[in-house]
Amino acid sequence: MLKKIMKAGFSVSLFMFACLSFAAGQGYENLKAAQPTQDPDKVEVIEFFWYGCPHCYQFEPEIVAWKATLPKNVSFIRQPAVFNELWGKHAKAFFTAEVLGVADKVHADFFHAIQVKQEKLSSEEDLAAFFVAHGIDEVAFHDAYNSFIVDTKMRQAKAMGPRYGITGVPALVVNGKYLVNGRSAGDKGGMIKVVNELIAQESK
């Protein structure tokens, strides 16, 4: 069943959305319309991802290592992309973890459960079991999962892809102005390199 679900997700993404393959390009793209950042005093970097994307999974260790080196004037935000129902279910899990204050604790394990263990993790029941296994009270999970704030985050997430010109993941947006992905920057190391250059530029 999981394979059918994943296949359905990837069939959509192969057409337009999916995980971007890495091929050398121009480094970055200018967004058609600059987007506001959460803190104007910091350089904002948003990572768009999907837990079902193997490229995102492979990129995650590099993101974690890179994040630890970021200067204090940089704000890093993880943002699950939502292009179809399955992506939305995984995004809702991420936002639930945020509301519960355990996003950093479960993020890598959620990737591992889907990518390596090939667990479904798309229903409320499956997710409840996952969160309980990570020390979260089941009632607290259901309360957060069905909360107004998670619903609000989901509605915002569905609109963010088009706003930022996201057509695939992984993708990084710097300061609401520049889009960096595998198509523009090449491999994962190239993406980090370009983002660092843009951070330096925006920090001046």
Q: The tokens of 130 are what? A: 């996952």
- Per residue in 82-104, pLDDT tens? 999 999 999 999 999 999 999 99
pLDDT at 114: 97
pLDDT at 31: 94
- Per residue in 100-145, pLDDT tens? 999 999 999 999 999 999 998 999 999 999 999 999 999 999 999 9
pTM of this prediction?
0.88
Omega before residue 71 within 30° of 0, cis: no
> Using 50, 70 and 90 to split pLDDT, how confident is the model at 183?
confident
Q: How far is CA 97 from CA 31, 92, 141, 142, in A?
A: 29, 9, 8, 11
pLDDT at 187: 87
pLDDT score of 17 more than 60: no
**43-49 and 171-174 beta bridge pairing:** antiparallel
C-beta atoms surrounding 84 within 10 Å? 15
- Per residue in 67-79, pLDDT tens? 999 999 999 999 9
CATH code where residue 57 lies: 3.40.30.10
* pLDDT, average across residues 173-182: 95
- Per residue in 145-156, pLDDT tens? 999 999 999 999
> Using 50, 70 and 90 to split pLDDT, how confident is the model at 12?
very low
pLDDT score of 20 more than 70: no
Rounded to 5°, the CA angle 73-78-79 comes to 130
Q: What's the burial of 14, exposed, middle or buried (CB within 10 Å: 0-12/13-18/19+)?
A: exposed
pLDDT score of 3 more than 60: no
Q: Which domain holds residue 142?
A: 2-203
CB 191 within 8 A of CB 25: no
pLDDT at 25: 56
Helix, strand, or coil here: 32? coil
Q: The tokens of 18 are what? A: 């999916």
Q: What's the burial of 15, exposed, middle or buried (CB within 10 Å: 0-12/13-18/19+)?
A: exposed
**Tally of domains in the chain:** 1
CB 103 within 8 A of CB 109: no
Distance CA 199, CA 136 (A): 36
pLDDT at 186: 84
* pLDDT, average across residues 173-199: 94
Name 152's Cβ contacts closer than 8 Å, sequence gap at least 6. Answer: none
pLDDT score of 10 more than 50: no
> Using 50, 70 and 90 to split pLDDT, how confident is the model at 59?
very high
